[in-house]
Structure formats: C-alpha cells, structure tokens
Structure 1
Amino acid sequence: MTTLSLQALNRATLDRQWLLERHDATALEAIEHLAGMQAQAPLAPYVGLWTRLKDFQPAELVKLLEDRQAVRGSLMRATIHLVSSRDFLAFRPLIQPRLDREIYQNITYGRHRLEGLDMDAVLQAGIDRMTESPATAVQLREHLAKLWPDREPAALAHAVRCLLPTIQIPPRGIWNKGGNPTMTTADLWLNSPITTKPSAEALVLRYLAAYGPATVADAQTWSGLTHLAEIFDRLDLRTYTTPDSNRPLYDLPDIPLPPEDTEPPTRFLPEYDNLLLSHADRTRFSPTPTPTSLPLQTLLTKGTILHNGYTKALWTQSKSKTQTTLQIAPTTKLSHQAWQSIESEAHNLLTFTNPNATHTITRTDT
C-alpha cells in the first residue's frame, strides 16, 4: 500500500471537495458531486457553492429548489441535507436505518414515548395531514395530538419526520427569505416514490469520489450507517495507508492524487460544512481534533476559514441592507501573509453575500 502523508491526504481531499480551485460547473453538478451538502443552517449551501464554483449566484440555487430539481430533507447523520431530487430518492432508503435509530434510540423522543403505538397508523396520519397541505412541525403536532391525546405530540411528529421521506419545502432555504420548516413527502413534492432497489455500493463510491481517500469508519461517520466494511469488501478499490494509522484508506482506482506540495488557496466554509463532518479522523484538516479548546459543535456553528489547507480561523457575519460586518476569530497564530490572504477572500465573500452594502472586517479572539 502506498503511504500518504497528512499533507498529501489533505490536498487529495481538498481536490475532491473542489477547494483547490473553483470549478466551472453548475450548482446541480456541484451538489451531486459532493453527494449532498449539509443544510442544517438553511443558507449555508449558498456559501458552500460560492467557495467551490466560478461565478455562482444565489438565484441559481433558488431556481433549483423552486423547480424541485433539488430538495432539503433528512438524510446523512439524520440531519438536513441539500441534495438533488434524484439523489434524495436514491439515498433516502439507504440512510433509513440511521433515521430509525433517531426515533427508537433517541433520548428525547425515544422508544419509551412510542411503546405500544401502532406506528403505521401514526405515519398514515402524518401522510393524511401533509396530503391536505405541507405542514410545519407545530401543525403536525396539533394534528397528531388530537388522534393520540395521551402521547407526547413532539415525539409523534418527530417519528413522522424521520420515518417518512420528508422534505422541507421553500421558502425555507431560499436566499434572503425565511420561514418555519414546512414539510411534505417525496411522493407529494416530487411525484415519485423513493427508490425501491437502492445501491449501497453506489453510495460508497459517491462518498469516496467526494471525500476520499477514506476509511470505512470515515464513510460511516459521514452517512451515520454501520457495517459498511462488507460493502467496501465487495468493491474494487485502491488502498493507501498513513504513517500513524493501521487502518487502510480506500479510494476509487482511477482518480489521481494532486501533488503533495500543491498550494491551496484560502477558502471560507459555511457553518456545518460537510468537509469538516465527514471523517471519523479529522486530522487531515486540523492537526488536533479541534483547532482550539472549544468543542467541535461550537466551532461548527460558525463558518470556518481554511488557510494553506487547514482550519485557521472562524467567521461570522451580520448584515443589513446598507452594512455588512464580517468578524474573523483566529484559532491559531496567523502570519501577516496569512491574514492578508484571509482578508482578501473575506472581501470577496462580502461582495457575494451583500454586494450593495458597506463592508467592514473585524478581528476578534475566540
């Protein structure tokens, strides 16, 4: 097996993630290449696409969502993802075991609150309500509470969200718009059921194309699934290793790796970007599990700045029609050259997010 240094692994994954250079591709092509984008923060994918594509404008993603070519729904790790509609139909049945665990092993909405229920009847009631019209969580809880008054409404609604192939419809996720999450099902929104014969092998190959080289544990972290080793064993894959790990890294056999000494540009990632969530071992982007003493969950609620391929700072933004302020909080000591590069890309980001406003960049401590 070829041994990859940490830097070689870093550059390889940045290349797969379209972060070594911006690509001349459509937003739909990017979303499918990435096998979906975390969309827990509804507008995060817009920045994620901007940082990966040439000339991306928000209207392109808005049109995909409004035309139902792309959707936001519960998928990998039981979190909200932006995917193409065809990928939602193909991925959802494969990810369903993780969503089942979200219901039957969840501490807040666990099995003790659902014991003795006719779950088929609960799901049918959810379908009936969403067939009338798309429903918010509150509306779904109110409908289910009337039918099962002795049960916790939030647990019933959560079961419907996870056990049915639910989609959050616009205006949620539309640029410069808001609104509570409003749900319907794939059948109703896309006029198509989920795939009846999904391919776990295809899912693993899609993962490696976007996040490889990677271990089995990495793929399980990304998807939230277990027992993927048997899927990897059935595939014809290239194998690598690293100096400090005995676990093999798998990859597609026909994808070349970029030179280890490739100089990556500074890139701004949105909150919860899948680049930082899709490996069990995140040291390929940070020499330590987190770039500071802050918990990972706290870090991910803010945007992340990559400099020279590694996490070096966090960013947040506040804006009005006339003023946008971008706050940058370094997580390690930055050289003058690094700060200049970060500040330059920060101005580009501000021009993208609020082109007609006055821009201000501030630097704070984490």
Structure 2
Amino acid sequence: MTLSDDDIRAIRARAQLLSAPAPDVLSVTRAVAAIQAQSSPAARLAVRARGRGLTSQDVDTSREVARTWLMRKTLHLVPTADLRWLNRLFGPRNAQAGQGRRRQLDLTDELCERALNHLQDLLPGRALTRQEILKGLAAAGIVLDTTSQAPPHLLAYAANRGLICRGEDNGAEPTYVLLDEWTTEENDPPDPHAELAHRYLTAYGIATAEDFATWSGLPLGLCRKAFEVLDLVPAGIGFALRETDLSAPRCPPRLLGAFDPYLLGYADRDLFLDPAHAKRVNSGGGMIAPTVLVDDRIAGTWHVKRTAKRTKVVVEPFAALSRSAIAGLESEVDDYGRFLGEAAVLVI
C-alpha cells in the first residue's frame, strides 16, 4: 500500500492515542507500551495528552501502573501486570551494563549484596524515600556518599535485580517499595522479545527494526529477529502489524510534555520534526523539550510561567500558527489546567 508522509504521521499519532484518547491511566500506558518516567511531571503530561478527563492525581495513585528501570536503562512507567517479565527482560542486561559505573562509585559487588540483603529487611510493608533508605542502610553500617551518584545507582541496581520498584511519590520525593509487594502477577509471554516488538509496533504504528532498537535499547540483531516472527506488512518507510488500520485522520493540536513518547520512538525524527528546528527540541544531553504538535508535526516548543494569579502556558512556534491551531491549543491549555487543578492561559 502506498502511503504519503501525511498518512504515516496520522497513523503514528493515532497509534499513540493522540487522536483517540483513552479513559484511564492503565489504558493509556498499555497502548503506548511504556512511558519514559525519570521525570514524574513529564510522565503525567504524557498520560494527559492521551487520556480523557484524567487528573495528575489519577496518574500518581494508580496501582495498575508501576515505574522501574527498563528500556535504555531509564525509568519507565508500564502496566503493573507487565512489570515482572519486563524486569526479567531488561534487568540483567541493565545491571551488567552498569557494572563499570558502579565500580567507579565504589559500589563493589560485596557492598551491593549487603545493601540488597538489608533492603529486604528495611522495606517490607513500607514505601521509603531515598533519604530514608540511606539512613536505614547507614544504621546497618552501609554508608554511601550522598553527594555522589552512588545512591541512585544502587537503587537502580536493586530494581534491575528485581528487588524493588518505585512506589507512589511522597510530594516531590519518589519512594521505593519491594517489587513483590507492588505486584504478585506472573505474566511471562512465551517469546518476550517478540511480545515487546508487537507492543512497540502497536504503539508506534509504522516503524523499522532500527526504530525498535533505538526505542528499546536492545541489540539490533535481537530486534530484527523479533520483527521476523511477527505478521508484518510493508507500510511506507517501515512495517506495520497486519491488523493495523492504515488510514487515520489528523490529530488535533496537542501539548506534549518533555521526553514525550512520540519523540522517543523512532531512530529518525525528520518525518515529524524539521531538522532546522531539531536543536530547539533536543539541545543535547538527552533532554527533550515540551513540544507543540499541529497536524501531526512538531510545530514549536512550550514552557510554563507561574505567578500568584495564574499559570501561563507560553508557546514558541516555529512559524505562524493558523486560527484553528490556536483554537486547538487554547482547548489544550484549558485541559492542562484542569489536569493540574489550576487556571491556565495560552500565551504565544
């Protein structure tokens, strides 16, 4: 089937729920496969852009989703029911990849094992912040340099070993819980790599094995093998699952948060982000700015200015916006304010 660039963009946006929002946090997270979540506010906004009538509290309090270190060794929000098999898929690989950095931080194998053993005694029935965990470890004679990266690397290692995951945030502070207390579900697919590839293509519509490798952080060879066992059809610049509807309307204007999945799912963003503006979105260091989506293309960036009286959502477009795009963004800003429980106005 011949697909235009506009067709591909629309199919991808629909796969991301950007033109067909879902009614609850779990449905959004499952449809997108995984939401990068090293920034809790950004993860909330990824859900908002794809949800209908949800609030930030809905995201924070849902036990149907969970956060741990998975794709690209980065924190992701995933369905709780998938936490164990995804942890088994990525955890050992991430733990091995982090070994050199742990040694630089004096996190020896012996110290890590002592810490993990003590976490098993410290965490049952509790959700503790990083500082509370460090205090508990120090009481057991395991003292870490709190000014270094040793504490977060130890916690990531414990998560990669399948001991802990993130719990609910305590205000602005994340908490950590025993994985066995967050979920008891065992949901191992027979072929985890193929299952992940299927979920990826469901979430990203049309893509290649190279795109899947970029998104997942898995070796390209594994990604190609995973694609080979799926029932795929050629679709423009990549492949789609045979059941994918290769027609879709354009999505309305959207405000995407930082690190939005729409920008993280492909090896090449040129189809929806003009290379001339790429550095305004990704200035370096892996940072992805909040972006404006108009007609399935990145049309600008945005940020928030808060005063005592109101919240300003400041949009910086790459080019002049049409009246219909501005009207759509005004609706988005209204929903952004509703989601956070604060009055918000659009400023261009």
Shorter-chain TM-score range? 0.7 to 0.9
Q: Separation in 2 of the partners of 1:236 and 1:317?
A: 44
Give me the identity figure in percent.
Answer: 22
Q: 1:158 to 1:32 in 2, by over 3 A?
A: closer
Q: When the two structures are superposed, what TM-score results if normalisation uses the length of structure 2?
A: 0.83
Could you tell me which residue of structure 1 aligns to residue 157 of structure 2?
A: 159
Post-superposition CA distance 1:321-355 (Å, at most 9, x none): 7421111122x112443662454234423442455
In proportion to residue count, which structure has more helix? 2
Indicate which of 53, 72, 75 corresponds to 2:70: 75
Q: Is the 8 A contact 2:91 2:162 kept in 1?
A: no
Q: 1:135 to 1:335 in 2, by over 3 A?
A: closer
Could you tell me which residue of structure 2 aligns to residue 246 of structure 1?
A: none
Q: Separation in 2 of the partners of 1:196 and 1:338?
A: 45
Could you tell me which residue of structure 2 aligns to residue 361 of structure 1?
A: 346
Q: Secondary structure at the match of 2:110?
A: coil
Shift of 1:305: 0.7
Q: Secondary structure at the match of 1:329?
A: strand
Q: 1:210 to 1:148 in 2, by over 3 A?
A: same
Q: Separation in 2 of the partners of 1:354 and 1:236?
A: 41
State how 1:141-152 maps to structure 2 within 5 Å: 141-144=134-137, 146-148=140-142
Q: Give the counterpart letter for 1:137 in structure 2.
A: R
Indicate which of 290, 299, 305 corresponds to 1:312: 299
Q: Are 2:335 and 1:349 aligned?
A: yes
Q: Separation in 1 of the partners of 2:179 and 2:18?
A: 32
Structure 1 unpaired stretches of 5+: 173-177, 243-248
Q: When the two structures are superposed, what TM-score results if normalisation uses the length of structure 1?
A: 0.79
Could you tell me which residue of structure 1 aligns to residue 5 of structure 2?
A: 6
Q: Separation in 1 of the partners of 2:42 and 2:281?
A: 21
Q: Separation in 2 of the partners of 1:194 and 1:179?
A: 32
Could you tell me which residue of structure 1 aligns to residue 16 of structure 2?
A: 17
Indicate which of 318, 321, 333 corresponds to 2:319: 333
Could you tell me which residue of structure 2 aligns to residue 35 of structure 1?
A: 33
Q: Is the 8 A contact 2:5 2:271 kept in 1?
A: yes
Post-superposition CA distance 1:222-246 (Å, at most 9, x none): 222222212222222222343xxxx
Q: 1:214 to 1:111 in 2, by over 3 A?
A: farther
Q: Are 2:210 and 1:217 aligned?
A: yes
Post-superposition CA distance 1:10-29 (Å, at most 9, x none): 11111101112434x33322
Shift of 1:211: 0.8
Q: Separation in 2 of the partners of 1:288 and 1:51?
A: 24
State how 1:228-247 maps to structure 2 within 5 Å: 228-242=223-237
Structure 2 unpaired stretches of 5+: none
Q: Secondary structure at the match of 1:113?
A: coil
State how 1:186-205 maps to structure 2 within 5 Å: 186-191=179-184, 195=188, 199-205=192-198
Q: Separation in 1 of the partners of 2:49 and 2:109?
A: 49
State how 1:72-151 maps to structure 2 within 5 Å: 72-106=67-101, 109-110=102-103, 113-115=106-108, 117=110, 119-131=112-124, 133-144=126-137, 146-148=140-142
Task: Give the paired residue count.
Answer: 341
Aligned-residue CA RMSD (Å): 3.2
Q: 1:34 to 1:353 in 2, by over 3 A?
A: same
Q: 1:104 to 1:356 in 2, by over 3 A?
A: closer
Q: Is the 8 A contact 1:123 1:164 kept in 2?
A: no
Shift of 1:158: 4.2
